[in-house]
Structure formats: C-alpha cells, structure tokens
Amino acid sequence: MRADAQRNRDAILAAAREVFEDEGILAPIDGIATRAGVGNATLYRNFPTRDDLLAAVMEDSVRAIVAESTDLDALAPAAALREWMFRLTWQLRVWQNLPTCIASAIEDDESPVGRVCTSLSARTGELLDRARAAGVATDVRGDEVFQLLTAVSWAIDRFGDDSARARQRVALATAGVLRAG
C-alpha cells in the first residue's frame, strides 16, 4: 500500500473509533469520512460496507482483549471464566449498538464482524472447557455463552452500569454457567 493510501486508511480508522465512541456504530458514515479528512469514495474504497469498517476498527480491541486474557490462565478455572465473562461483556458495551450488530453478524459466515468475533467466542470456549474439565462449569457451549454475554453487554450499556454494577449483572446473568459450590 502506498504511503498516502496507508495514511488515509489509518485516518479513517482513527476517525471511525472516535465517531463510534461519540455517536455509536450506527453514526453516519459520511461523518467519519469528513472527520478523517477524506472523501466518501476514499472511505468506500477502503471499506465497502459499514461492517467492513466496524470489523477493522474492532480488530485491535479484540486482539488486545484476547492477548490480555492470558493472565487468566494462572487463575483457578472458575475464577478465570468468571473474570473473562466480565471483561468480555465490559468490552462489548463500549460502543452503542455494537451488541446489536454482533447479534446480526454472528451466524453470518460472510460477515466481517462475525469473523472478528470468532476469536472472542473461541476464547470463551477455551476457558469454559477448562472450567468444565475441572468440574465447575455446566454443559453449555462457548458460542452460547458468547451470545449471552453479547446480550448482557447491551443491558450494561443501556442501564449505564459502572464497573461494579456491570460485574453484578454479569454474575447474575451467567449464574447457570458455573456450578454452585
């Protein structure tokens, strides 16, 4: 990629992050192009659809949360899963309407957003499998837990939960994932 093309792409991604944080992911695409200082044609040449743009913006955050989750491997399986479920839910609530977009994309093999979420669902499955092997998790699938956490992240956003309240909401919503004991 030419240097100027890379600068434009980077400017679009930075502008999209800002707009998504300020206005949510359904904000007008034209506003992102304007904020990035590029024309609409440049934006659409780089990102033909809103989902392409959203997936590109999400990739860094997804890579970071998955990489940071390696610290959970040192915890007991139940504690690791409990903490992952909170961290993931807290992360997914960052942009208004992101959970809705994920819910629409998760079953679509062609969706760039769905493909980005695959690593989140996979990490959920890994921690769930570890907890199940230790006898502390119920027989629920990782993709089901990921979908549940996506829904809970919507509630956390809509109710304006702070971190402590969000942690309580995640614990309540996921009570059936871990065995009592």
CATH at 124: 1.10.357.10
| Domain around 9 | 1-48
- pLDDT given at position 100: 84
- pLDDT given at position 134: 97
Q: Are residues 38 and 80 in the same domain?
A: no
Q: Are residues 140 and 102 in the same domain?
A: yes
- pLDDT given at position 93: 86
Angle at 33 between CA 2 and CA 27, to 5 degrees: 140
| CA contacts within 13 A on the Cβ side of 22 | 11
Q: Choose among 120, 179, 110, 129: nearest CA to 148.
A: 120
- pLDDT given at position 95: 77
Q: Are residues 42 and 88 in the same domain?
A: no
DSSP symbols for 39-60: -HHHHHHH-SSHHHHHHHHHHH
- Give the number of domains in the chain: 2
- pLDDT given at position 89: 95
Residue 137: strand, helix, or coil: strand
Mean pLDDT by 10 residues, the chain (181 residues): 90 94 88 95 95 91 93 97 96 83 86 91 96 96 95 93 97 94 62
Q: Mind listing the pLDDT tens digit for each residue in 9-18?
A: 999 999 999 9
Q: What span, in angstroms and rounded, lies between the C-alpha atoms of 116 and 130?
A: 23
Q: Are residues 87 and 16 in the same domain?
A: no
Q: Are residues 62 and 44 in the same domain?
A: no
Q: Are residues 65 and 39 in the same domain?
A: no
Residue 178: strand, helix, or coil: strand
pTM recorded for the entire structure: 0.85
Amino acid at 120: L
Q: Are residues 133 and 152 in the same domain?
A: yes
